Structure 1
Amino acid sequence: MKKNKRQNTKCESEGSEFLVLGNLMIRGIWAYKTYTNMPGYDLIAINPISQKQCKIQVKSRWATNANYAFPLKNLECDFVVFCRLNRGAGPSFKNRRHTAIKDPQYWVVPIENAKTTVKTGKFSNCKINKIENIDSFQNNWQLINDFLI
């Protein structure tokens, strides 16, 4: 049996960072993207009045049917935004036609909350469905705004 080749999602991963950047900016939160592969964070959000800033790490999953575990090794940030891109079924999923493309979903999680479920080791990850009150973090961009005040 031929094993499925791992799907290259580099473009979509970069796109998820821009999606998060756009979500911040349309809410009046000044933000910019860092250089690619900056250890620990992908975006910086700033408040030019208070001169506060926060580091944001963006983690994404391509498939609509992906599990809720996101790789998370470096915890040197203030927030992690978990983004499910929901682009349909992954290449290894047998019933692809039953997995619809949907709008992306976002969870804006303070790093202290994300740390509670991080499994360390060779494949460090965070299972966001195990974070207490995870529903309160969905689309909660106000957390970043409040952090910057």
Structure 2
Amino acid sequence: MGRKIADIIEEFILCQLAAAEHEDILLSRNQLAQQLKCAPSQISYVLQSRFTAAKGFCLQSRRGSGGFVKISRQNSELAEDLQLEQEALKKILQELLVAEELSECQIHVLRALQDLLKQETCSKAQLDWVKGALVHIVKLSG
């Protein structure tokens, strides 16, 4: 029985990372999909599910020009810090949602932020964005 394409994609990317002179690599989704004879969406699925911050990776994506993605290894302390920060933001959001002085719009934004934080792991950029949105909401309500 043949191996699953997701396993093949993951193994290929891990080999690329191991062979890289630096701690990161830049890949084109379309070129990788052609090389591995799969759809670009399969590449995206593997990147999102197997190269997460919790597993020690950082992804930076660029649209256009074939959809490039930069994959970097991050140290385990950073991954743990991001996980703790995500949990803290979840608690803050929950506390803000029970506040009575919020407008319908603010409640809607807070629920959208909550949905974002339901992911297994969020990137540093996503967490920074959530913090920025929370600061604005608190300023507006105070």
Same fold (TM over 0.5): no
Higher strand share: 1
More helix by share: 2
* Shorter-chain TM-score range: under 0.3
Q: Give the TM-score normalised by the residue count of structure 2.
A: 0.26
Structure of higher CA gyration radius: 2
